[in-house]
Amino acid sequence: MPAVAVADASDRTLGRIRARSVAASRAGPAAVLAGIVALYVAVFGHLTWRQHANWRSLGFDTGIYDQGMWLLSQGRDPFLTMRGMDYWGHHVAVIGYLFSPIYWLGGGVQAVSLVHTIWVAAGAVPLWLLARDGWENRPWEALAVPAAYLLHPAVHWVTWWLYHPDSLAITPLLFAWWLARTARWRWFALAVAVALGCKEDVALAVVVLGALLVVRGLPSPLSGSARALRRAGLLTAAAGASWFLFSSKVVIPLRNEHAPPFYESYFPSLGGSLGEILSNLVLHPSRALGLLSRPRVPDYALKMLGPVGFLLPFLGPAGFLVAGPQLGVNLLVEVQDGATIKSQYASLPIVGLFLGVAEGMALLRRRPALLRAAAVWLVGCAVIGSHAWGLAPFSRSFGPDVWSDEPRHNVAQLDRARDTVPPLGRVAASWNIVTHFTHRPIVYEFPNPWLSSNYGPSGNEVGAPTTVDWIVVEQSALNARDRALLERLTADGGGFEVVQDENEVTVARRVPQPSPGSLDPP
């Protein structure tokens, strides 16, 4: 055999050996990644499933979205009597349609929460891919990033809420970044589309992502020509801006005429319109600094940054910028507490944190010992932060105050109450049990619709009390005002009769009225 042929055959053999070696070196870390994701899903999937089974899920916001997605799946008018808004006047969360098969098959909160848990946990996958590629093929060290993600307290809290479209945006945005890094533009477009479909304000993060592509702000290696990157970036930014404006300025006002201007009512100290807010941020920075000096801001920073090693996200500032719009809202908002790890508003900051960590630690790839030390530091901080502020079984907050470890003492009576109400019966139920009644066109959180309580934006009228035929409440969930209302409604002439009253569970049914023209009994 000629020497050249022998050399070619040898080279091919060595190439195959190297390819197999690389595949084997990646198989082990990939298996570990699959294991930690599966562990997260097993633990938190069980906890969230049990939360609803034990009658511990909440009307806000689980019940709101559950009714909305059930209505979408049935092709019904998506007016949320749980919230006093149209589904599309509340948020533009197109992703709700994706859950329709669950409702067609008879599922509900538990199945939705399990899918939600899997979806959030899957965010560990693009983080590992991003770190593995950016750290010059160090797949074992790269596991530090997805491990820290699954340990982060804010990730636990967005899972605890059972369902929010905000947290569904985490995984597609992380995938979009990695897909842009590898120039897989068709898959990138799909990931961006899924992220935009989660909720209208995700579009702001997409705009930032597009802008970073335009200026080649994603750190190398980033394949593709400068022209292709600019084109992809411009299309991405334009898609994000267009979707944000269409959703916030057309869809929401059209479906909810009483909706306040999008976000503009959240910052009374900065102004009443988007222009005033931006102007005051530039011309009067002391107002923003005053809002940032509130005690909750340092606490928020500690609990978000501590579990990721404090400074590590800032090593990759391009990735961290994706969190910029939502982080600014969280820190400056005045009408609600956005600066907390315990709400869905932490979802987009989570994306920025971990993109910053993965990209920032890539700066150490030429110094393996330092990179390994940083990986150990990251995991160590994640474990400590998870123990201090997380909701894992080893966390200090783990317990019956957060996760229900056993059914309510009156679960038999609650089950009987649920079975008493007809499948499409029109019902008002107390906030702590209403999620078991949300698969119907008309369901209110008592004392609605008699008294307005967290019902719609300012200007919306509460529903007509005559639309309710059943009242189901757990007495311990009622305040004095609501208890007095219940007593009035179930008294003589109040219109309702009690059919179950046991172990704090009260079920009342509307008294049938004689039809017009009929004779009253003697």
Mean pLDDT of 399-408: 88
User: In the predicted model, what is the mean pLDDT of residues 110-126?
Assistant: 98
pLDDT on residue 225:
75
Phi, psi (degrees; rounded to nearest 5) at 309: 80, 20
CB contact at 8 A, 379 and 147: yes
The C-alpha atoms of residue 187 and residue 160 are separated, in whole angstroms, by 30
Report yes or no: 319 and 139 within 8 Å, Cβ to Cβ: no
DSSP 62-126: IIHHHHHHHHHHHT---EETTTTEEHHHH---GGGGGGHHHHHTT--HHHHHHHHHHHHHTTHHH
126/131 Cα distance (integer angstroms): 8
Count of CB atoms situated within 10 Å of the CB of 228 = 13
- Give, in order, the Cα–Cα distances in Å from 383 to each of 33, 129, 267: 17, 22, 36
Q: Is the pLDDT of residue 361 over 70?
A: yes
- What the block records as the tokens of 250 is 């057309």
- CA–CA distance, 92 with 169 (Å, rounded to integer): 13
Q: Which residues pair with 443 in a beta bridge?
A: 427
Mean residue pLDDT across the chain:
90
Tokens encoding 390: 């997380």
Mean pLDDT of all residues in 391-413 = 92
Longest CA–CA separation in the chain, Å: 117
CA dist., res. 380 & res. 374, Å (int): 10
Range scoring the smallest mean pLDDT among 40-44, 48-52, 82-86, 333-337: 333-337
CA–CA gap between residue 199 and residue 57 (Å, rounded): 22
Highest mean pLDDT among 12-16, 124-128, 227-231, 310-314: 124-128
* Residue with the larger pLDDT of the pair 499 and 273: 499
pLDDT band at 221 (very low <50, low <70, confident <90, very high): low
- Among residues 220, 213, 219, 216, the alpha carbon closest in space to that of 237 is found at 213
Which of 231, 184, 176 minimizes the C-alpha distance to 209? Answer: 176
Between residues 213 and 460, which one has the greater pLDDT? 213
pLDDT of residue 142: 97
Record the tokens describing residue 130, joined without a space.
């991003």
Structure confidence by residue, pLDDT tens digits, 10-67: 556 555 555 555 555 668 999 999 999 999 999 999 999 999 999 999 998 999 999 9
Q: How far apart are CA 191 and CA 182, in angstroms?
A: 14
Helix (H) or strand (E) holding 396: none
The pLDDT value given to residue 288? 85
CB 243 within 8 A of CB 205: no
145 or 339: whose pLDDT is higher? 145
- Grade residue 5 by pLDDT with cuts at 50, 70 and 90: low
Q: Please state, in angstroms and rounded to a whole number, the distance separating the CA atoms of residues 304 and 68.
A: 31
pTM for this model (two decimals): 0.91
pLDDT at 55: 95
Contact 474, 504 (CB under 8 A): yes
DSSP collapsed to 3 states, 328-389: HHHHHCCCCCCCCCCCHHHHHHHHHHHHHHHHHHHHHCCCHHHHHHHHHHHHHHHHHHHHHH
Write the single-letter amino acid at 75.
Answer: G
Strands 85-86 and 427-429: unpaired
- Say yes or no to pLDDT of 261 above 90: no
The one-letter amino acid at 143: L
3-state secondary structure of 508: strand
Could you tell me if 241 and 207 are in contact, meaning their C-beta atoms sit under 8 angstroms apart? yes
Treating both helix axes as pointing N-terminal to C-terminal, what angle do 347-361 and 324-332 enclose, rounded to 10 degrees? Answer: 130
Give residue 518's pLDDT.
47
In angstroms, the CA 471 to CA 483 distance is 12
> CA–CA separation, 208 vs 188, rounded Å?
15
pLDDT above 90 covers what percent of the chain? 72
Residue with tokens 């899924």: 194
Q: How far apart are CA 55 and CA 16, in angstroms?
A: 57
Q: Phi and psi dihedrals of 429, rounded to 5?
A: -130, 155
Mean pLDDT to the nearest integer, 215-226: 69
pLDDT digits (tens, 9 = 90+) for 141-198: 999 999 999 999 999 999 999 999 999 999 999 999 999 999 899 999 999 999 999 9
Q: Are 60 and 454 in contact (CB under 8 A)?
A: yes
Percent share of the chain, pLDDT over 70: 90
Query: Does the pLDDT value for residue 217 go beyond 80?
Result: no
Q: Which of the pair, 210 or 222, is modelled with greater confidence? A: 210
Can you tell me the distance from the alpha carbon of 153 to that of 158, in angstroms, rounded to the nearest whole number? 9
Once rounded to an integer, what is the mean pLDDT over residues 461-476? 89
- What is the token pair recorded at 97? 């349609």
Token pair for residue 99? 């859950």
